């Protein structure tokens, strides 16, 4: 049964990722905002929906280790695994604003998260701070993109789908991503528990991988359709939403205790991989993440997972 969940979940995720990209591009053209901003906001929020469901449910049912581990593991796999695989499939061009704006904001979110958990928990007001910062970033991104398009007089492309259809596509595909990720996690968790794996190891590996599959599916679809701004924007935006949105909402619902192993081990891997991403997307202009760099990411991810299960 676990293997059927795995297969069905994977198929649903691929189909949902296809419709999310189409709906996101249509929405970008409708409101005259860049596909990069759509990737960082709308698409990344949709692909992060599974993490939100898993984290809130874990906190409410008394499994905070899964809540924190899911987010950290997802952010690590988004960069090292998802972006690595996408780069191997098709080298990823990097826009200047991804280097100058998106990555620094993601790094600030990661460092702020580290500072907040040093006392061993995430509390209501820390979660509220995350939510306020996220809302400010999204509002600024959309406003700035529309303003720049207006200043340069960029001609608006006609959306492929009407506005109501684009909204329906985004909502339904987000729901499909949640369902597909849920089935994938059920199947993967069942297999992992059969081998006696710890809750923390499951959360940062199996569950995190399962909830990161939407980002993988969406990014590959975006790459195939030459919407590369959505591809890398989706990954950076998803990491930002995971930290500020998901942990923000979850810690406002219930204080989340943080294990010492997370503070002393997992967060440093996340910080290191995030810094490596910055090295790979330099220089500011004309950069791309190559196939070789994609392989480096995959190897690093494999080492991290090995060390998690070895602990």
161 contacts 23 by C-beta, under 8 angstroms: yes
Taking the C-alpha atoms of residue 205 and residue 208, their distance in angstroms, rounded to an integer, is 5
Residues 6+ apart with CB under 8 A from 259: 65, 68, 200
What pLDDT, on a 0 to 100 scale, did the predictor assign at position 94?
Answer: 75
CATH 1.50.10.10 describes domain 2-151+161-310: no
103 contacts 239 by C-beta, under 8 angstroms: no
User: Residues 251-294: pLDDT tens digits?
Assistant: 888 888 888 888 889 999 999 999 998 888 876 555 778 889 99
Q: Which 3 state secondary structure label does DSSP give 153?
A: coil
Two tokens, residue 71: 């987010």
User: Residues 179-196: pLDDT tens digits?
Assistant: 766 676 666 566 666 666
Band the pLDDT of 7: cuts 50, 70, 90.
low
Q: What is the mean pLDDT of residues 209-233?
A: 69
Taking the C-alpha atoms of residue 212 and residue 301, their distance in angstroms, rounded to an integer, is 13
Two tokens, residue 301: 């991810």
**Torsion of the alpha carbons at 138, 57, 216 and 95, rounded to the nearest 10:** 20
Q: What is the distance, to the nearest Å, from the Cα of residue 275 to the centroid of all Cα atoms in its chain?
A: 16
Instruction: Give the containing element (helix H, strand E) for 295.
Output: helix 291-310
Q: What is the mean pLDDT of residues 26-42?
A: 67
User: Residues 50-71: pLDDT tens digits?
Assistant: 667 667 766 776 666 677 888 8
What pLDDT, on a 0 to 100 scale, did the predictor assign at position 279?
Answer: 86
How large a percentage of the chain has pLDDT more than 90?
18
Q: What is the mean pLDDT of the chain?
A: 77
- Per-range mean pLDDT, top range of 22-31, 156-165, 234-243: 234-243
Q: How many CB atoms lie within 10 A of CB 139?
A: 11
Q: Is pLDDT larger for residue 162 or for residue 47?
A: 162
φ, ψ of residue 287 in degrees (nearest 5): -90, 160
What pLDDT, on a 0 to 100 scale, did the predictor assign at position 101?
Answer: 78
* pTM assigned to the model: 0.78
Domain boundaries, the chain: 2-151+161-310
Whether 153 shows a pLDDT value over 60: the answer reads: no
User: Residues 73-89: pLDDT tens digits?
Assistant: 889 998 998 889 888 88
Taking the C-alpha atoms of residue 98 and residue 92, their distance in angstroms, rounded to an integer, is 12
Q: List the beta strands (DSSP E) in the chain.
A: 92-94, 121-122, 256-257, 287-289
Q: Is the dihedral of CA 216, 221, 222, 224 positive or negative?
A: positive
What pLDDT, on a 0 to 100 scale, did the predictor assign at position 284?
Answer: 54
Whether 152 shows a pLDDT value over 50: the answer reads: no
Taking the C-alpha atoms of residue 200 and residue 69, their distance in angstroms, rounded to an integer, is 6
Q: How many CB atoms lie within 10 A of CB 146?
A: 15
177 contacts 47 by C-beta, under 8 angstroms: yes
Residues 6+ apart with CB under 8 A from 179: 9, 12
Taking the C-alpha atoms of residue 91 and residue 256, their distance in angstroms, rounded to an integer, is 38
């Amino acid at each position: 049964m676990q293997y059927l969940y795995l297969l069905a979940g994977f198929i649903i995720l691929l189909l949902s990722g296809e419709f999310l990209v189409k709906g996101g591009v249509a929405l970008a053209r409708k409101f005259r905002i860049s596909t990069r901003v759509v990737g960082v906001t709308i698409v990344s929020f949709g692909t992060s929906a599974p993490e939100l469901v898993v984290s809130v449910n874990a906190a409410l049912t008394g499994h905070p280790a899964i809540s924190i581990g899911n987010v950290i593991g997802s952010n690590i796999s988004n960069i090292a695994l998802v972006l690595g695989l996408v780069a191997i499939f098709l080298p990823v061009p990097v826009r200047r604003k991804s280097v100058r704006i998106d990555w620094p904001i993601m790094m600030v979110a990661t460092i702020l998260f580290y500072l907040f958990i040093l006392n061993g928990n995430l509390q209501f007001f820390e979660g509220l701070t995350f939510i306020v910062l996220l809302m400010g970033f999204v509002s600024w991104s959309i406003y700035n993109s529309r303003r720049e398009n207006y200043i340069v007089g960029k001609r608006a492309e006609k959306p492929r789908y009407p506005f109501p259809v684009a909204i329906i596509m985004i909502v339904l595909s987000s729901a499909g991503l949640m369902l597909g990720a849920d089935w994938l996690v059920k199947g993967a968790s069942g297999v992992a528990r059969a081998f006696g794996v710890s809750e923390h190891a499951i959360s940062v590996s199996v569950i995190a991988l399962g909830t990161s599959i939407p980002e993988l599916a969406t990014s590959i679809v975006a790459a195939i359709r030459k919407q590369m701004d959505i591809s890398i924007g989706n990954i950076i935006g998803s990491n930002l939403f995971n930290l500020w949105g998901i942990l923000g909402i979850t810690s406002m619902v219930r204080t989340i205790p943080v294990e010492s192993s997370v503070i002393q081990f997992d967060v440093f891997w996340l910080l290191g991989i995030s810094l490596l991403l910055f090295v790979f997307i330099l220089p500011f202009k004309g950069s791309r993440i190559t196939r070789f760099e994609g392989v480096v990411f995959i190897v690093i991810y494999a080492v991290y997972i090995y060390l998690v299960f070895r602990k």
